[in-house]
Amino acid sequence: MNPDRLEEHDEELLMTNPPPTTIVEYRKALRRRDMYIAKQKVMLASLRKKSMRLRCTKELHKLNIVQSSLIDMIMDLENRTEGLRASPNSSKASKC
């Protein structure tokens, strides 16, 4: 949490509301501040969740690219292997 932002909010509260003079006013001011902090924590958790989702999406995209390139390599190797088996000139093909 950004302490500068919290101080700005405290200053805003003091500018809009006079400083508390009674215990009841002081408790109300503390409650308002606590509510503000709670909202900021919820917003921070939401942002963390979104950033984690984005990171997971990027990683998944990278894995999909790797998977597709591996599939292409396997297909290429299978084609080469079939070509060797079909070729009568190959010594390995005649042994099979």
Domain assignments of the chain as residue spans, ordered by start:
3-79
Q: How many CA atoms lie within 13 A of 77 on its CB side?
A: 6
Euclidean distance between CA atoms 23 and 96, whole angstroms: 94
Between 13 and 39, residue with greater pLDDT: 39
CA dihedral for 89, 90, 95, 96, sign (positive or negative): negative
In tens, the pLDDT along 59-95 reads 988 899 999 999 999 998 888 888 777 766 655 555 5
Residue found under tokens 């308002």: 32
10: DSSP letter: H
In tens, the pLDDT along 15-35 reads 666 677 888 888 888 898 999
Looking at residue 16, its pLDDT comes to: 64
